[in-house]
Structure 1
Amino acid sequence: MSTITTDIHWDIPGTYVFDLVLSQQGYAINKMCNSLKSQASRDEFLADSEAYMARYGLTEEQKQAIRDRDWLQLTQLGGNLFFFLKLAATLGYGLYQIGADMRGESYESFMQTRHVPGAV
């Protein structure tokens, strides 16, 4: 029988490992973001995001991270990129914009380091 260990300490500065503790902490964020798969849910979120967040029981800190479009904070609060990409797409953000924001760079500066043909 395997045992789940939650006392692992990762020594990788600036890295947030999506482990059992973070997944439990971010459950409401990830559940809400996953619900944005349908157009009806996206429309509902855009019409009244406060009511939509309340329905999923987000904490004030989680709600504020969403209001601020603070992707790094969402990660630190247990948000998983694969889920909050649905939120980002709903709000008109792409993966590279999120990456730039999380690194504290402009989109243009970030793209110069990506070596993407035809990028800014």
Structure 2
Amino acid sequence: MPLEKPYAGVPGTTIFDADQSRKGYWLNQFCMSLMKAENRERFKKDERAYLDEWKMTEEQKQAVLARDLNRCIALGGNIYFLAKIGATDGKSFQQMAGSMTGMTEEAYREMMIGGGRPSTWTDKKEEGK
């Protein structure tokens, strides 16, 4: 019997739970491998060959190659592990987050300084009280 997931309805949000962890295990292991300089160099030299050493799905590999971090998250990636890809590419976490929202780094920074995006999910939950 599957567990009830009351958090599953948060718009635009993928919660990294046990199911996501299992789905993204090899994707996240690949990301963690990038903590070693020699692995980053091997990855940069031939990304596809390096990815093929991991038991990731083809869809996960394609998402990494495209640097589609939103897709990586949907496929089980954890943002803290995925940050290793950004670091390998010389990008800051802020640059990565901006790209995931379709915003420039500056626009993303200003949004976060201003308090972030409002949560319509929270608003709807509050209305039900």
TM-score, normalised relative to structure 2: 0.79
CA root-mean-square deviation: 1.9
Contact 1:27 1:78 in 2 (8 A): yes
Percent identity of paired positions between Structure 1 and Structure 2: 35
Distance 2:3 2:68 in 1: 26
Higher helix share: 2
Of 66, 69, 90, the match for 1:68: 66
42-51 or 5-14: bigger deviation: 5-14
Distance 1:86 1:18 in 2: 17
> Unaligned 5+ residue runs, structure 2?
115-129
**Match in the other structure for 2:121:** none
Q: CA deviation at 1:7?
A: 4.1
Q: CA deviation at 1:115?
A: 2.9
> When the two structures are aligned, how many residues end up with a matched partner?
113
* Deviation per residue, 1:43-68 (Å, 9 max, x gap): 11111111111101222211111111
Q: CA deviation at 1:108?
A: 2.5
Counting only pairs closer than 5 Å after superposition, residues 1-120 of structure 1 correspond to structure 2 as 6-9=3-6, 10-115=8-113
TM-score, normalised relative to structure 1: 0.85
Q: Post-superposition, which runs of at least 4 consecutive aligned residues in structure 1 deviate over 3 A?
A: none
